[in-house]
Amino acid sequence: MRGALARAITYAVVTILVVGALYGTPQLPQKKPAEEILVAPQSSTAPLTFLRQRFDTLGSGESLSGVFARGGVSQLLVNEALKTLTVINPNHVRAGMAVTFRSENPDSAPSEIVLQLGIDRLLHLERKGTTWTEREERLPWTTDTLVLAGAIGSTLYEAMDSSAVRVLPAPARQQLTWSLADVFEYKIDMSRDLQAGDAFRVMVERSTSSAGAVRIGRILAATFTLSGTELQAIRYKSSVVSGDFFDQDGRSLRAAFLRAPLEFRRISSNFGGRMHPILGIWKQHKGTDYAASMGTPVRAIGDGVVVRAGWGNGYGNVLELRHRNGFLTRYGHLRGFATGLHVGSRVTIGETVAYVGTTGLSTAPHLHFEVLVDGVQRDPRTALLSHGGDPVPRAERAAFARQRTQLLASLQSASPTGLALR
């Protein structure tokens, strides 16, 4: 009797707890296909009505018809809207495109659909009855000039992120890092030459759209201080000398050789002794290894002629280019060569000549790069040093001096992340 009573009490308590838990558990929110807001009109003279806006995104593999229907557009109006489109092909639209639906009141079908074709490009579909019209809109950009300064701790990327995080989004900071490296690519290998304590200062154009998008424009001037020595880059367009940037002495930064054979690079080993990863013995490493993804384009560091393009035993697929003044460059472990390249081919500085691979005595994709001068292997870091390109002609010296004075004054006087011009 007592056992039955105890079991009954236990069952009752469990039931109460289960019911309480179910009652107290919050309902999971329903997944909404689009965000919806109601916006009051801005004009004080406008009638007190509401404008409904729904924000959605075109899904992967989804058609415009599908997202239009989800936005409250009837099939009849969808068909008419698609027939109106001439700016874009409705069958070839990118996933992730933002779509906005606007209605004159909360209960009516959309009277306007806005497709965001790009960061500064909108396509409006506007409806009167069952008739749609399209209108393309280009969002305005405003341009200012930004001065940034940073000190090298580990890499140029890290230094740029630290100095520009408040004024540039991540993609713009990355683009500026690449652009700055390109300005000095004849003078500095950003992967090897920078040391802790080195510093940069750069003045660059920044454009901002009315929607808040940011993009990087032209670099106007920059300085790099390496081990206490400052190198300047002044944007100047000469009618005679090639190149967009000149140093403080008026010599073009465009030299006979690039400092590195890869545009996007990080180094796995430097010139000098190392343990060979396959042979397992200490061996003098006659060059520099650039670790990079399979298929990364390899560029000629200077104008030259192909003297070897084929299999080179431990080098795997190897390419050799003969340059002027007794220089020869060697590129090893290649996946393959550029189309049409053969012994006797002439190549120009910066031209893609091959692709990173892992052929020969190689454990992972990388480029082995060597420089030989008069048949002797040299450290690329010192062999490729250049004291400058051609100078601005005598007739342009006064104009260059004025531009140099103006740009350097703005670069040095402005507070970092402040506006220097305009």
pTM of this prediction? 0.70
Both 106 and 161 in a single domain?
no
Q: pLDDT value at position 74?
A: 93
Q: pLDDT value at position 13?
A: 47
Both 249 and 290 in a single domain?
no
Domain for residue 60, yes or no? yes
Both 282 and 379 in a single domain?
yes
Both 112 and 42 in a single domain?
yes
Domain for residue 316, yes or no? yes
Q: Are 272 and 288 in contact (CB under 8 A)?
A: no
Tell me, what amino acid is at 415?
Answer: S
Domain for residue 45, yes or no? yes
Query: Structural domain of residue 308, as residue ranges?
Result: 266-383
Both 302 and 206 in a single domain?
no
Q: Extract the tokens encoding 386.
A: 């250049």
Both 195 and 272 in a single domain?
no
SS3 174: helix
Both 202 and 304 in a single domain?
no
Buried (b) or exposed (e) across 273-311, using 16+ Cβ within 10 A? eeeeeeeeeeeebbbbbbbbeeebbbbbbbbbebebbee
Return the higher-pLDDT residue of 278 and 163. Answer: 163
Both 239 and 307 in a single domain?
no
Q: Please tell me the distance from the alpha carbon of residue 88 to that of residue 100, in angstroms, as a whole number.
A: 17
Both 274 and 379 in a single domain?
yes
Domain termination residue (choose one: 223, 255, 287): 255
pLDDT surpasses 90 at 388: no
> Which tens digit of pLDDT belongs to each residue from 406-420?
999 999 887 776 554
Q: Extract the tokens encoding 20.
A: 């309480």
pLDDT surpasses 50 at 193: yes
> Which tens digit of pLDDT belongs to each residue from 131-163?
999 999 998 999 999 999 999 998 888 999 999
> Which tens digit of pLDDT belongs to each residue from 16-69?
444 444 344 333 333 344 555 555 544 444 444 547 888 999 999 899 999 999
Q: pLDDT value at position 100?
A: 93
Q: Please tell me the distance from the alpha carbon of residue 321 to that of residue 308, in angstroms, as a whole number.
A: 7
How many other CB atoms sit within 10 Å of the CB of residue 261? Answer: 24
Both 238 and 292 in a single domain?
no
Among the listed residues 92, 190, 93, 205, the one whose alpha carbon sits nearest the alpha carbon of residue 150: 190
Identify the band that residue 125 occupies on the pLDDT scale cut at 50, 70 and 90: very high
> What average pLDDT score do residues 258-270 get?
67
CATH number of the domain enclosing 376: 2.70.70.10
3-state per-residue secondary structure call for 52-108: EEEEEECCCCCCHHHHHHHCCCCHHHHHHHHHHCCCCCCCCCCCCCEEEEEECCCCC
> Which tens digit of pLDDT belongs to each residue from 283-304?
455 788 888 889 999 999 999 9
> Which tens digit of pLDDT belongs to each residue from 338-385?
999 999 999 999 999 999 999 998 888 999 999 999 999 998 888 888
Both 374 and 275 in a single domain?
yes
Domain for residue 29, yes or no? no
> What is the count of structural domains for the chain?
3
Domain for residue 15, yes or no? no
Both 145 and 234 in a single domain?
yes
